[in-house]
Amino acid sequence: MLLDPLRIPNTVWSDPAVGDALTRRDVGALFRRIGQLTGASQTRIGAAVGLEQGYVSRVMAGRKVTSIEVLERIADGCRMPDQARMALGLAPQDRPCHLDMASPPKQRESDLPVNRSWRDDVRAAAQLWEGDVNRRDVIRQMAFSSAGYTLTALRWFTAPAAPPVVHAGTRTVGQPDIETIREMTTTYRRLDNQYGGGHARATVARYLHQEVTPLLDNGRYETSTGRKLLSAVAELTQLAGWQAYDVADHGIAQLYLTRALDLARAAGDASLGAEILAAMSHQATYLGHGATGIDLARAAGQTAQRAGLTVLTAEASVMEAHGHAMVRDERACTAALHQAEKTLDRADRSSAPQWLGYFDEAYLSAKFGHCFRALGKPAQAERFAARSLRMDERYIRGKAFNLALLATAQAQQGELERACVVGAEALTLTSRLQSARAARYVRELQAELVPYRRRPTVQQFIRRVDAVLGTRR
């Protein structure tokens, strides 16, 4: 059940108890007072600020919140005016304020845009890696927020050009260090495709924390090397986010992808930025936020065009199409699919980065299949799902996805025997993966077959799914 968005009247911010809670950074008192003034439940407050209800409950019971990351998310989710943000110790956002909080003139003069430096982005990323490795509760309790991606994408387009990436540390950083990070990323990406995001997610987080953080903090590098370093780190951070997404750690995935985009912006890497925006669109659409998925895909497309990367422009178009399909806009979906196909046909793949190697005709066909499935057109979905299986066999997880898609389309057309045979193949591959997404697609196939469970073949398949993935509640 979707919750109504939390709307906090402007008068709340002039409430003395709210002002006192902000000044003392007492988030628990702030939440309690907001609940009293608006009638909002813990669940509703948590949904607004991107935190699990259980974590909100512990904060309201007295747990302290000290992480700037979390405080920023709370401020954004509550749509705090700048005076409230500053009372909480955060930078203003230079947006209009409509509140009656008394504020001396000198304080209002400080309400100016604050440019975020690349060092701030590095510091925030390092805090995330450390918190993830140490399994800090504040990181683990993060929930996905579509508004968080909207603000991130806006910053990508509106933030001023990043200053020179220069650092005077004690250790000289050179091309070999950068190549090592890229080689590790290639290795982890291969493992991700073959075994699922859960296989090496913790290892990637440790590598970022233990190996990459010291390089950024203690390294000595000039602008050219510094930007290459940040680009390599952004790519690995994006992969860590993708892994978290694959195992359904969606709040953590959002944090990683957000940090990756910030690092890509600091590095001046528009191509990688477009790819990260496309990944954000992918996650948002998967979670049912079709409108946000569309916006992010369009942002990815504009960025890819700016970077002159035609293959990535095609990917952005198909991501946009999937968002349109999720909101049942068939005309817009069809137009975006046509654009994606046409763009990919004229793309020069020789100039595409290595990390974009997965995007080919088979991947495009799979996305076509998902779009038609979302539109309730199983015959078309089956046709494209079958085409998607003409794929690179190294992408084990992708093959599991495509088999499940094909079997689901067959089940929806009443082809039960074929659906069970193909579904069994998907289940076999899924059993070898640590991938919540792969399991979800098989479960969705199982749900399609439940109405026919009295048939022996179907009953056998349903039981096998439960035996492999666990009995479904």
- Are the C-beta atoms of residues 449 and 464 closer than 8 Å to each other? no
Which pLDDT band, with edges at 50, 70 and 90, does 138 fall under?
A: low
Residue 107, pLDDT > 50, answer no
- Are the C-beta atoms of residues 436 and 400 closer than 8 Å to each other? no
Beta bridge partners of 172: 220
- Secondary element (H or E) of residue 147: helix 146-158
Average pLDDT over residues 229-250: 97
Contacts for 124 with CB less than 8 Å, ≥ 6 apart: 68, 69, 259, 262
Rounded to an integer, what distance in angstroms lies between the CA atom of residue 84 and that of residue 218? Answer: 36
| Amino acid, single-letter form, for residue 205 | A
- Secondary element (H or E) of residue 172: strand 171-172
Using the 8-state DSSP alphabet, how is residue 208 labeled? Answer: I
Residue 5: its pLDDT value, please?
A: 65
Burial class of residue 395, CB neighbours in 10 A (0-12, 13-18, 19+): buried
DSSP string, 149-168: HHHHHHHHHHSPPPPP--EE
Of 135, 198, 133, nearest in space to 436 by CA: 198
Higher local confidence (pLDDT), 430 or 50: 430
Higher local confidence (pLDDT), 457 or 164: 457
Average pLDDT over residues 207-211: 97
Q: How many residues does this entry show for the chain?
A: 473
Residue 95, pLDDT > 70, answer no
Which pLDDT band, with edges at 50, 70 and 90, does 117 fall under?
A: confident
Residue 93: its pLDDT value, please?
A: 66
Residue 19: its pLDDT value, please?
A: 87
Contacts for 297 with CB less than 8 Å, ≥ 6 apart: 277, 278, 281, 316, 317, 319, 320, 322, 323
Tokens, residue 231: 């680009």
376-417 tens-digit pLDDT: 999 999 999 999 999 999 999 999 999 999 999 999 999 999
Of 36, 31, 63, nearest in space to 46 by CA: 31
Which pLDDT band, with edges at 50, 70 and 90, does 1 fall under?
A: very low
Tokens, residue 103: 């504020």
Give the least confident one: 133-147, 173-187, 237-251: 133-147
Cα–Cα–Cα angle for 158, 160, 164, rounded to 5 degrees: 145
- Are the C-beta atoms of residues 32 and 18 closer than 8 Å to each other? no
CATH classification code of 10-94: 1.10.260.40
Residue 111, pLDDT > 80, answer no
Rounded to an integer, what distance in angstroms lies between the CA atom of residue 452 and that of residue 289? Answer: 31
Which pLDDT band, with edges at 50, 70 and 90, does 370 fall under?
A: very high
- Are the C-beta atoms of residues 322 and 340 closer than 8 Å to each other? no
Among all chains, which residue has been given the structure tokens 């750690």?
Answer: 249
Q: Are strands 171-172 and 167-168 parallel, antiparallel or unpaired?
A: unpaired
24-56 tens-digit pLDDT: 889 999 999 999 988 889 988 988 888 888 888
Average pLDDT over residues 57-77: 85
Residue 472: its pLDDT value, please?
A: 66
Beta bridge partners of 51: 142
Average pLDDT over residues 135-142: 74
Rounded to an integer, what distance in angstroms lies between the CA atom of residue 65 and that of residue 21? Answer: 12
Beta bridge partners of 268: none
Domain boundaries, the chain: 10-94, 120-270+358-469, 271-357
Residue 103: its pLDDT value, please?
A: 35
Of 408, 406, 398, nearest in space to 447 by CA: 408
Higher local confidence (pLDDT), 417 or 69: 417
The overall average pLDDT reported for the chain is 89
- Are the C-beta atoms of residues 290 and 326 closer than 8 Å to each other? yes
Residue 101: its pLDDT value, please?
A: 35
Among all chains, which residue has been given the structure tokens 């002039």?
Answer: 14
